[in-house]
């Protein structure tokens, strides 16, 4: 009993925020941003664009590639840190795409969310609880960026990506490794900040909102370039494979320096590393399926190719999954 991977799709906003635009907002420059992140632009959701819009568009595209009727979907997992509704947005996506028979829920693991969602969905399929699942990574982080903080505003873009997984007699999910360490939480946060408000003499509550994204970039970089290669190597070991067997390395698109450092530590040549961070920025949980969509649509990735994926981000969380396409 196993799982196969049959469709991907992506949806990105039409608004483009370039490095030149940011240079007018904060003290920075195109050269400063490019040399530190590899990013030249990021795509930003319009004021009237909701997460459900992007997530549903990506899901519909993935279902079309998989040639799967939405009514046949049993499970919808939406990996996001920026829902339209804090009670959950997956059910809105379920309705929008016509997956009337599916159970739907949100999953939050920040930039690792898509990997965590993929592994979660696979458990339902491998046990034959469900037959068809769609995992969506979607975030609109522009809602929570401090646009006067040049350490973070240069990084993030918005978007959604989706992948269809189906039960199979042959398991194409070869291995995975998931990790969390709350001791490092303070390095990357989007935290609630409340003010005390008395209700009566003996009772007070906290009401407020979420503070903008705060990040210790140096610590996150150090964490990523050491821990991400390690989880990929552990996943390879469990699958009795080596880095030489990897056809494509698809990492969370945090910044190009991290992508280069991880690939270098694994010994994976640059032509096997998929990157779109220069054009899309860091789209959090959406970045891996967005990055996969174009090479799959162009048939650069072939059936049976070994894909090594890894996500890493707030929590701190990180994880890797190895699978063969198709």
Task: Look at the pTM and tell me if it is higher than 0.85.
Answer: yes
Domains 2-170 and 175-183+214-324 share a fold: yes
**Mean pLDDT in residue range 139-143:** 98
Could you state, in order of their start, the residue ranges of all structural domains in the chain? 2-170, 175-183+214-324
Between CA 277 and CA 215 the distance in angstroms is 18
**Mean pLDDT in residue range 51-71:** 98
Pair of tokens at residue 316: 């701190």
Q: Is the pLDDT at 156 greater than 90, yes or no?
A: yes
Q: Is 21 a catalytic residue?
A: no
Residue 158 is predicted with a pLDDT of: 98
Which regions of 240-305 does DSSP assign to beta strands (E)?
248-251
Q: How confident is the model at residue 85 (pLDDT cuts 50, 70, 90)?
A: very high
Mean pLDDT, rounded, of the chain? 97
Q: Is the pLDDT at 32 greater than 90, yes or no?
A: yes
**Mean pLDDT in residue range 76-102:** 98
Between CA 272 and CA 248 the distance in angstroms is 5
Catalytic residue among 91, 252, 255, 280: 252
Residue 171 is predicted with a pLDDT of: 96
Q: Is 280 a catalytic residue?
A: no
Between CA 84 and CA 139 the distance in angstroms is 10
Superfamily of domain 175-183+214-324: Thiolase/Chalcone synthase (3.40.47.10)
Q: Is 282 a catalytic residue?
A: yes
- For residue range 161-181, list pLDDT tens digits in order: 999 999 999 999 999 999 999
**Mean pLDDT in residue range 78-85:** 98
**Mean pLDDT in residue range 290-316:** 97
First-to-last CA distance in the chain? 16
**Mean pLDDT in residue range 20-40:** 96
Q: Is the pLDDT at 201 greater than 90, yes or no?
A: no
Q: How confident is the model at residue 1 (pLDDT cuts 50, 70, 90)?
A: confident
- Residue range 2-170 forms a domain whose CATH class is alpha beta
Catalytic residue among 132, 255, 276, 282: 282
Q: Is the pLDDT at 147 greater than 90, yes or no?
A: yes
SS3 23: helix
Which residue, 181, 143, 140, is CA-closest to 159? 140
Q: How confident is the model at residue 128 (pLDDT cuts 50, 70, 90)?
A: very high
The pLDDT > 90 percentage for the chain reads 99
Catalytic residue among 111, 132, 153, 187: 111
């Amino acid at each position: 009993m196993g799982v196969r991977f049959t469709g991907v799709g992506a949806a990105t906003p039409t608004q483009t925020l370039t490095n030149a635009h940011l240079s007018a907002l904060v003290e920075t420059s195109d050269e400063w941003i490019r040399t530190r992140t590899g990013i030249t632009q990021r795509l930003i959701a319009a004021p009237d664009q909701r997460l459900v819009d992007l997530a549903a568009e990506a899901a519909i595209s993935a279902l079309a590639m998989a040639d799967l009727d939405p009514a046949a979907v049993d499970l919808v997992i939406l990996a996001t840190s920026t829902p339209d509704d804090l009670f959950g947005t997956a059910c809105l996506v379920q309705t929008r795409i016509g997956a009337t028979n599916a159970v739907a829920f949100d999953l939050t693991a920040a930039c690792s969310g898509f990997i965590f969602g993929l592994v979660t969905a696979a458990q339902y399929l491998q046990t034959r609880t469900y037959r068809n699942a769609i995992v969506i990574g979607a975030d609109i982080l522009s809602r929570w960026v401090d646009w006067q903080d040049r350490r973070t505003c240069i990084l993030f873009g918005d978007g959604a990506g989706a992948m269809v997984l189906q039960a199979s007699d042959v398991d194409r999910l070869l291995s995975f490794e998931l990790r969390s360490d709350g001791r490092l939480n303070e390095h990357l946060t989007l935290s609630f900040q409340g003010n005390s408000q008395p209700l009566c003499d003996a009772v007070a509550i906290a009401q407020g909102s979420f503070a903008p994204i705060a990040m210790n970039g140096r610590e996150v970089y150090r964490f990523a370039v050491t821990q991400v290669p390690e989880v990929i190597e552990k996943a390879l070991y469990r699958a009795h494979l080596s880095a030489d067997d990897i056809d494509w390395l698809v990492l969370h698109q945090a910044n190009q320096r991290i992508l280069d450092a991880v690939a270098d530590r694994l010994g994976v040549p640059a032509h096997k590393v998929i990157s779109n961070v220069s054009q899309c920025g860091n789209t959090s949980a959406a970045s891996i399926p967005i990055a996969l969509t174009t090479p799959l649509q162009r048939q650069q990735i072939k059936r049976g190719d070994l894909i090594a994926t890894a996500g890493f981000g707030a929590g701190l969380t990180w994880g890797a999954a190895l699978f063969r396409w198709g």
